[in-house]
A and B are shown apart, each in its own frame.
Chain A
């Protein structure tokens, strides 16, 4: 049995994996994100939901340090990303459909390359573990650009777990997977949260998947948080049959949904 290497940084058990406080992003006259606050606890999977243009990717980009907030702050495992970018990002990783691994490098080359960027100790062993874990051993010398979309997703997830992150950002991680592969990946990610205590921020347009995987969801619309709660209870609390129905309602009538949410909160 192989002993997994220690994570590069020590976790702070008292801090949430992610704390976003009063985040705003303004582009000229357009407000992409408006005073958004939320946390992701360790071991929790938070679903970030919303229609296109709601501010999900803006939020993720800010947490990844590639987009500066106009106002507000972000702490990853208690470390302010604006103060200590490298230390904060060493505890984070991500996989997104729009950020594929360089297609001109093989799977193993990509993992070694990113492993060095994240300064992973015992890199060769860690890469081997991940190749095994994501069933990529037979593809280790295949260029990522030649992989099927499902294989690329697995490779991207392997890269995302290289540093055993305290916070994992996943933007539609199962979008291109067949149902069987998607189920395996969901189980894997669920175990990351439950067993390894990783905090996960998950975006998806598959509401059934969100309901099955996420502990809590956050509905964003037009840059604001409209609803927040348990994906299993939210539809009932807001008079919808399913999470998908609620999503459609929020996407089409965000103002009415916000008013209803405020009223429901007032009753509570």
Chain B
């Protein structure tokens, strides 16, 4: 970072290429990208179908519940895409080779983000195809606001991925288990399936700090034929950008700490500093 944030394309391409090689060399890695999202869609698809059949109000649960699952999974996949690409370097003990090269932290993170986008697309395609084909979800019926929703969730997913990677870098590979439950821990606050108003006051305050809660409130407003919630979306976008910058700052601080204390040089399965 000493030379400013000048990004070179070739080192970023290197990080992406490495993940491409890993996926091609081991199709097993593709399997979880598709499986978990497919299970989610099938599970929630049948729940919505059941709810539709027993509800007397004529309410269609498919867009609210299945649409919510789809958007939340998109955000989760982005986060896991970043952190899994990072973990590949942890698992193969590649930090010394990586960070003793001219690669900058900004280039490394950019490579992880691009990798995450590419791998997440696979999951999203499967999800949309299943949800549309089997459960008749009109995912794109929300129109242009959907793009804004996806961008906010994308930014938040990246923030989470960078933050989780920084945690593992700081606490050592054994802290990997801390990373996986993060989406599940946040989901009650993100108000994926219910309006914010049903949450107790203290939970709502946490929700206000989470950009997805604005997205899901906005989505429900649109589906209920209420006016487009532009202000909500603007607030969510602003928070997402701030959190993205904070996550990048946090990662850079952790990296500098690792260089100062020698953690990076002797990073191994047991290192916790």
Binding site for B on A (CB under 8 A): 25, 27, 57-58, 61, 64-68, 82-87, 89-90, 92, 94, 96, 98-106, 109, 112-119, 143, 159
Q: Decide if B140 is an interface residue (CB 8 Å cutoff).
A: no
User: Can you identify 11 A-B contacts, CB atoms within 8 angstroms?
Assistant: A66-B259, A85-B2, A86-B3, A90-B102, A99-B93, A104-B25, A104-B26, A105-B25, A113-B18, A114-B97, A116-B13
A143 to B3, CA, bound (A): 35
Would B14 and A94 count as touching, CB distance under 8 A? Answer: no
Proximity bits, B79-108, A CB within 8 Å = 1, else 0: 000000000100011111111111110000
A30 to B129, CA, bound (A): 60
Chain A residues contacting B18 (CB-CB under 8 Å) are 102, 105, 109, 113
Residue of A nearest to B259 (CB): A68
Would A106 and B101 count as touching, CB distance under 8 A? Answer: no
Contact of A116 among B11, B25, B261 (CB under 8 A): B11
Minimum distance in angstroms from A103 CB to a CB of chain B: 6
A27 to B103, CA, bound (A): 26
Would B265 and A113 count as touching, CB distance under 8 A? Answer: no
Minimum distance in angstroms from B221 CB to a CB of chain A: 46
Q: Knowing that A61-B265, A66-B95, A84-B2 are A-B contacts, what are 6 other residue pairs whose CB atoms are under 8 Å apart, sorted by A's residue number?
A: A66-B259, A86-B103, A86-B104, A105-B22, A116-B10, A117-B10
Would B92 and A117 count as touching, CB distance under 8 A? Answer: no
Would A118 and B101 count as touching, CB distance under 8 A? Answer: yes
Chain A residues contacting B103 (CB-CB under 8 Å) are 86, 117
Q: Decide if B21 is an interface residue (CB 8 Å cutoff).
A: yes
Chain B residues contacting A89 (CB-CB under 8 Å) are 100-102
Max chain A Cβ within 10 angstroms of own Cβ: one of B3, B22, B92, B261: B92
Minimum distance in angstroms from B106 CB to a CB of chain A: 11
Chain A residues contacting B160 (CB-CB under 8 Å) are none
Residue of B nearest to A90 (CB): B102
A25 to B259, CA, bound (A): 12
Contact of A65 among B11, B26, B92, B99 (CB under 8 A): B99
Minimum distance in angstroms from B24 CB to a CB of chain A: 9
List the 7 closest A-B pairs by CB distance, nearest first.
Answer: A116-B14, A64-B100, A102-B92, A86-B102, A61-B265, A99-B96, A117-B101
A143 to B15, CA, bound (A): 18
Contact of B264 among A25, A66, A82, A117 (CB under 8 A): A66
Chain B residues contacting A117 (CB-CB under 8 Å) are 10-11, 14-15, 98, 101-103
Chain A residues contacting B136 (CB-CB under 8 Å) are none
Chain B residues contacting A98 (CB-CB under 8 Å) are 96
Chain A residues contacting B253 (CB-CB under 8 Å) are none
Contact of A119 among B10, B96, B265 (CB under 8 A): B10
Chain B residues contacting A84 (CB-CB under 8 Å) are 2-3
A27 to B17, CA, bound (A): 37
Residue of A nearest to B19 (CB): A113
- Given A27-B261, A84-B3, A113-B18, the answer on whether A104 and B96 have CB atoms closer than 8 Å is no
A66 to B3, CA, bound (A): 16
Minimum distance in angstroms from B16 CB to a CB of chain A: 9
Would B99 and A66 count as touching, CB distance under 8 A? Answer: yes
Chain A residues contacting B93 (CB-CB under 8 Å) are 99-100
